[in-house]
Copies of this chain bind each other. A is one copy, B any other.
Amino acid sequence: MSVAVDDDLWSAIGDPTRRRMLDLLLTDGAGTATTLSDSLPVTRQAVAKHLAVLDRVGLVHVSPAGRERRYRVDEAQLARAVAQLADVGAAWDARLQRIKRIAEAIERSQKK
């Protein structure tokens, strides 16, 4: 039985650049495409596209301020994404544990 995963949300946090962007937005509180690109190895336009993706899945929200577009993390949505990470991890972990138990059982029965 597999875990229910929102593929859009998952793939949004699947990109390394987007993960770093979320990190930066969390530490700085907010940021624009330009300020983020200063701390990233990609151009402003690439950052803008990533911000559009994050906005589409609700991980960030934008508030226009003059000529700037200031982005901020949606904490509830990020919490949901983190929960999905935990779910998938827990599901695989449980399977690995089960396999380990079975392997140990076989080991024991062979030794006998």
Which A residues lie at the B interface, using CB under 8 A? 2, 5, 7, 10-11, 14-16, 19-20, 22-23, 26-27, 75, 78-79, 81-82, 85-86, 88-89, 92-93, 95-96, 99-100
Specify which of B5, B86, B95 is in contact with A16 (CB 8 Å cutoff). Answer: B5
Inter-subunit contact B14/A92 (CB<8 Å): no
Identical copies of this chain, number: 2
Inter-subunit contact B16/A7 (CB<8 Å): yes
Q: Which of A7, A10, A27, A82 is the most central at the interface, judged by chain B CB atoms within 10 Å of its CB? A: A82
Inter-subunit contact A82/B89 (CB<8 Å): yes
Chain B residues with CB under 8 A of A96: 26, 75, 78-79, 82
| Docked pose: A75 CA to B75 CA in angstroms | 33
Inter-subunit contact A86/B88 (CB<8 Å): no
